[in-house]
Chains A and B, each alone.
Chain A
Amino acid sequence: MSSKPAVPEKIQNQIIPYLAPKIKGCIANLPSAQLDQLEEIRLRLGKPLSLHMMKSEMFLGESGKLSRLAREGYIVTEDDVVRTLAAVSGNSVYALEEELKRGFITIRGGHRVGLAGKTILEGGQIKSMKEFSGLAIRVARELPGCGNTLMGRIMAERGRPHNTLIISPPRCGKTTLLRDLARQLGDELNVAVIDERSELAGCFRGEPQLDVGAKSDVLEGCPKALGIGMAIRALAPEVLITDEIGRYEDVEAVEECLNAGVKIISTAHAKDMEDLKRRPVMQEIFKQHSFEMVVILSRRKGPGTIEKLIRLD
């Protein structure tokens, strides 16, 4: 497999070209070491341009200087928002109806652009968005090998993994870890990735932008409960990987998966087991003994720190 470009290179080639010229001017001169730390670019209309770095939030000035002071940040104009949106949407907001309903667009490279603006409702559901006031461009990061430790611990007999649930509070690296597990398992087994929020594979026009394994099939933008059934019937997976279970309809889908003899690896938002067990949906899932292992993550030693591995069988 060809080597993946480094994060600064990805930002230079896949994100900066989409920015409005003035924002581009501010950010293009950042040194590689700072680009490497960049997690998110936030454009808020009439507010200073902010960059979420790995360890802090900084404001970026017109001269390209980073500062902790908001007053030193370049003030984002309507023109900046309009031009950046024009670039990320290809001037085709009408072609992104599903993306607007979800509130974000995925661009080439799997980077996500979250949108802020006025929502248009129809029958109580979000139909579209307009009058955009902000954009949050999140840099997609792959950490090949971040799942190595866990891989060795979740594998069971015949080279297949245990049914595993990875839990943590937000921003602890669940999705990145899950993606690497998909990549490693997908190189050996038939894996179905149900990517409801386009975060795992970061598909751009149907093509996964992030490596989820050579033998993985991706169902993108598909609700988990529907996607699990569809994948079992149509794709004959040995392992099914999906992010963030937690709705009542997921309980039935997970059960269907187990009944079909398909292994499942998923994630859920929770601080610890107690927190998890307090949720009625998770109680249902545990009642049916769906998962054999629970992995608890934190950011204690950086995102993806394995705090505890609990065997439930």
Chain B
Amino acid sequence: MIIKMIGVSFIVSASGWLGLYKASQLSHRTKVIRQLRMDLEFLEKEIGFSRNPLEQALSRTAGVSCEPNKGLFTKACRELRSEPSTTAREAWSKGVAHLSKSGALTDEDLNIISLIGERMGTSDVSDQVRMLRQAGTEMKIQEEKSLRREGSEKKLWSYGGFLLGLMISILLI
């Protein structure tokens, strides 16, 4: 009986923890997207207003950002510093690869962020600002989607994990 009790509590807590983790991931994604939108706005000012060279603009953006987005800007900046003929597209794409390792964002989010690198640093100020604003708008849509998903799925995952654990335990007993 005691072994059964230990087994049930193990299954319920493991499955419950998994559910809570998934629920926290949902709200984490929203936070990361929101932070990224702010970072892109900062980068837009660095480029559009201060006209700082890209390397400096990325470094300064990394300075005001926080993880995991900070890693995106830091990595891209380091790549640009490593070899003068590295293109902004290559550097940004390595930054995005670094960001994807955090697992905070979906493929859809990462695709939007990757697109920024296509024209980064290669056109005049108005085009760069337009491109960053466009990315910001698309990230805003992603943030709203993420919020909606969070609203509908957070509770499901939070309680669902424990309930699923209980069901499995009942079936096994």
Q: Is the CB of A87 within 8 A of B54?
A: no
Residue on A nearest B85 in the bound complex, by CB: A83
Number of A interface residues in the complex (CB < 8 A): 24
Instruction: Say if the beta carbon of B80 comes within 8 Å of chain A.
Output: yes
B24 interfacial by beta-carbon distance below 8 Å = no
Asked whether, in the complex, the Cβ of B123 is within 8 Å of the Cβ of A130, the reply is yes
Q: Hey, which chain A residues are within 8 Å of B123, CB to CB?
A: 93-94, 128, 130
Given A86-B121, A128-B124; A95-B53 close (CB under 8 Å): yes
Assess whether A94 is in contact with B125, with CB atoms less than 8 Å apart: yes
Q: Are B124 and A91 in contact (CB under 8 A)?
A: no
Interface residue? A18 (CB, 8 A): yes
Say which residue of B52, B53, B88, B124 sits within 8 Å of A97 (CB atoms). B124
Q: Is B102 an interface residue (CB 8 A)?
A: no
Find B54's partner among A19, A24, A90, A128 (CB 8 Å cutoff): A90
Q: Which residues of B contact A128 (CB under 8 A)?
A: 123-124
Interface size on B, residues (CB 8 A): 23
- What mask results when residues 1 to 37 of chain A are scored 1 for a CB within 8 Å of chain B, else 0? 0000000000000000111110010000000000000
Distance of A258 Cα from B112 Cα, bound (Å):
61
A53 on the interface (CB 8 Å rule)?
no
Q: Measured between alpha carbons, how far is A228 from B87 in the docked complex, in Å?
A: 40
Question: Is A84 interfacial (CB-CB < 8 Å)?
Answer: yes
Which 5 pairs, one residue from A and one from B, show the smallest C-beta to C-beta distance?
A: A91-B121, A87-B84, A83-B85, A91-B88, A128-B124
CA distance A89 to B120 in the complex (A): 12
Give residues of chain B (44-79) contacting chain A, Cβ–Cβ below 8 Å. 47-48, 51-55, 57
Of listed B124, B127, B128, residue having the most chain A CB within 10 A:
B124
Hey, which chain B residues are within 8 Å of A127, CB to CB?
Answer: 124
Tell me whether B134 is interfacial, beta carbon within 8 Å. Answer: no
Q: Given A91-B121, A92-B54, A93-B121, is A86 in contact with B88 using a C-beta cutoff of 8 Å? A: yes
A82 contacts B by Cβ under 8 Å: yes
Question: Whole-angstrom distance between the alpha carbons of A74 and B86 in the complex?
Answer: 21
Q: Which A residues are CB-close (under 8 A) to B87?
A: 82-83, 86, 91
Tell whether B9 is near chain A: CB-to-CB under 8 Å.
no
B137 near A: Cβ within 8 Å? no
| B122, A93: Cβ atoms closer than 8 Å | yes
Question: How many Å lie between the Cα of A86 and that of B117 in the bound state?
Answer: 13
Q: Does A120 contact B (CB under 8 A)?
A: yes
| Complex contacts, B48 vs chain A, CB 8 Å | 94
User: A21, A24, A90 — which one has the most chain B CB atoms within 10 A of its CB?
Assistant: A90
Per the bound structure, the CA–CA distance linking A226 and B59 in Å amounts to: 37
Complex contacts, B53 vs chain A, CB 8 Å: 90-92, 95
The docked-state distance in angstroms from the alpha carbon of A19 to that of B84 is: 8
Chain B residue nearest to A90 (CB atoms) is B53
Q: Is the CB of B85 within 8 A of A19?
A: yes
Q: How far is the CB of B45 from chain A (nearest CB, A)?
A: 13
A91 touches B125 (CB 8 A): no
Q: Are B85 and A86 in contact (CB under 8 A)?
A: yes
A-contacting residues, B98-128, CB 8 Å: 120-125, 127-128
Give the residues in chain B near A17, CB-CB below 8 Å. 84
11 A-B residue pairings within 8 Å (CB atoms): A86-B86, A87-B84, A91-B53, A91-B80, A92-B54, A92-B55, A93-B124, A94-B124, A94-B127, A127-B124, A128-B124
The 8 Å CB contact of B51, one of A84, A94, A130, is A94
Residues of A contacting B51 in the complex (Cβ-Cβ under 8 angstroms): 94-95
Beta-carbon contact of B47 and A94 below 8 Å = yes
